[in-house]
Amino acid sequence: MPEVYATRRERLRERCAAGGSAAALVTRPANVRYLAGAAPLGAVLLLGGDEDLLLCGGPPSGEAAEGRPDEALEVRVLPRPGGDAAVAAAGLAAERGADSLAVEEHHLTVSRHRALGSVAPGLRLADLGGAVEQLRVIKDEEEISALRIGAEIADQALGELLESILVGRTERHLALELERRLVDHGADGPAFATSVGTGPNSGRRGHRPSDRRVEEGDFLSVCLGATYRGYRCEIGRTFVIGTSPADWQIELYDLVFAAQRAGREALAPGAAYRDVDREARQVLDSGGHTEGLPPLTGHGVGLEIDEDPQLAPAAMGKLDACVPVTVEPGVHLPGRGGVRIDDTLVVRPEADGGPELLTITTKELLAL
């Protein structure tokens, strides 16, 4: 469906024109891929009045995982390898007679921005802001389908791990094994660094796997995701090792589970981001866990694993249909461990059955 990219570029062109710039330079890789179908290393997209151009540092590799550039798009490779395609694109925009170029100030460094100004001194550099990120929030069914397949892959990888012997293995090895299984099942690769936390490390958001080994009585929390056709999903679960969870473990698990359910149930078109966050957060608060709570209880996913919207206390805005988000509250008790439960869901209207759960691994407290 190459026309999907042309349509996206057309929508961006309209926004730019409304902002007073006929030309735009897109540098953030996920934004380039969204608009051009591929983002080879160092590539930038120059959006002109009518003609668009993908400028690459080197020849595209042609790997499926990288995406293929939209065939309707002119692709040019920098003559001198190692140069900055953004600087070359600014020079081209000036040559083509643009007087103003909208750039991604939240992505360009101060030094790069200055280099753009130097190569084309007559060009006024404006701010494109998060215009492409905003376009990316609502997904089409093809994007959602890629996320759905990625979620299935992550569910499979996690399911297989649960059938294996866990006691005695290190966090690092479990993480690597999960990543291997993701690739086995067809992922382009992991969507982010797989997190495995045992015992006192369990329940910590973004915990980097260590050499700690799984022990009887531990909480074990796992967070992983697959990238499929560039789209990244996320699932997190917490288990208990051994036959009989301690009372504090059951209590904490039930609390986080209730918080996560409250967050999931709050997902609906029109719901304010902060209200979804509050639904999950107030359950944790009610359990007395006001300290060390995460800054957010969920976020958008897509071509990046952490994209708009943020489900957080100070977030502004409301959910739309077809926005995939995570719901991932957690509690970590220093020195003891904790619980995180994390799903990827797509916001859908109630008439369509409400939020669509992509990650379907059970959320019962399993004793492994």
Residue 104 per-residue DSSP state: -
Question: Which among 106, 187, 76, 154 has a CA at the least distance from the CA of 357?
Answer: 154
- Contact by Cβ (8 Å): 284, 365: no
Q: Are 291 and 240 in contact (CB under 8 A)?
A: no
Q: Are strands 356-357 and 343-346 parallel, antiparallel or unpaired?
A: antiparallel
Return d(Cα 324, Cα 334) in angstroms, integer. 31
Using CB under 8 A as the binding rule, whether residue 79 contacts a copy of itself is answered as no
Q: Rounded to an integer, what is the distance from CA 302 to the centroid of its chain?
A: 5
Q: Parallel, antiparallel, or unpaired: how do β-strands 219-224 and 195-198 relate?
A: antiparallel
Which residue lies nearer to a copy of itself by CB, 105 or 320?
105
Contact flag: residue 234 with a copy of itself (CB under 8 A): no
Q: Interface mask (CB under 8 A) for a copy of itself, residues 203-232, using x and -?
A: -x-xxx-x----------------------
Q: Judged by CB, which is closer to a copy of itself: 242, or 295?
A: 295
The amino acid at 222: V
Residues with Cβ within 8 Å of 362's Cβ and at least 6 positions away in sequence, in order, are none
The residues pairing with 13 across neighbouring beta strands, listed in sequence order, are none
114 binds a copy of itself (CB under 8 A): yes
Which of residues 104 and 152 has its CB atom nearest to a copy of itself in the complex? 104
Choosing from 68, 72, 106, 159, the residue that interacts with a copy of itself (CB under 8 A) is 106
Give the whole-angstrom CA distance, residue 208 versus residue 114.
36
**Per-residue interface string for the shown chain with a copy of itself, residues 115-154, x marking contact by CB under 8 A:** ------------x---------------------------
Residue from 97, 168, 295, 317 that binds a copy of itself (CB under 8 A)?
295
State the Cα–Cα distance between residues 125 and 113, nearest whole angstrom. 9
Choose the stretch contacting a copy of itself; rule: CB under 8 A; options: 74-82, 136-144, 242-250, 268-276. 74-82
| 96 contacts a copy of itself (rule: CB under 8 A) | no
Asked if 285 is part of the footprint of a copy of itself (rule: CB under 8 A), the reply reads no
Considering only 85-93, 199-207, 257-265, 356-364, which stretch makes contact with a copy of itself by CB under 8 A?
199-207
Binding of residue 64 to a copy of itself (CB under 8 A): yes
Q: Given the rule CB under 8 A, which of 275-283, 288-296, 323-331, 335-343 is the region that contacts a copy of itself? A: 288-296
Q: Which residues contact 86 (CB under 8 A, 6 or more apart)?
A: 25, 27, 44, 103, 108, 112, 115, 116
Q: Do 319 and 308 meet the contact criterion of CB atoms below 8 Å apart?
A: no
Q: Does 306 bind a copy of itself (CB under 8 A)?
A: no
Q: Which of 8, 107, 237, 348 binds a copy of itself (CB under 8 A)?
A: 107
Number of residues that bind a copy of itself (CB under 8 A): 36
Residue reference for tokens 């001198």: 80
For a copy of itself, the binding residues in 151-190 under the rule CB under 8 A are 172-173, 176-177, 179-180, 183
The CA-CA-CA angle for residues 205, 322, 16, to 5°, reads 95
Residue 345 in contact with residue 319, Cβ under 8 Å?
A: no
Binding part of the chain for a copy of itself, among 56-64, 151-159, 235-243, 317-325 by CB under 8 A, reads 56-64
65 binds a copy of itself (CB under 8 A): yes
- Judged by the rule CB under 8 A, the positions of this chain that interact with a copy of itself are 41, 61, 63-66, 80-82, 105-114, 127, 172-173, 176-177, 179-180, 183, 204, 206-208, 210, 294-296, 312
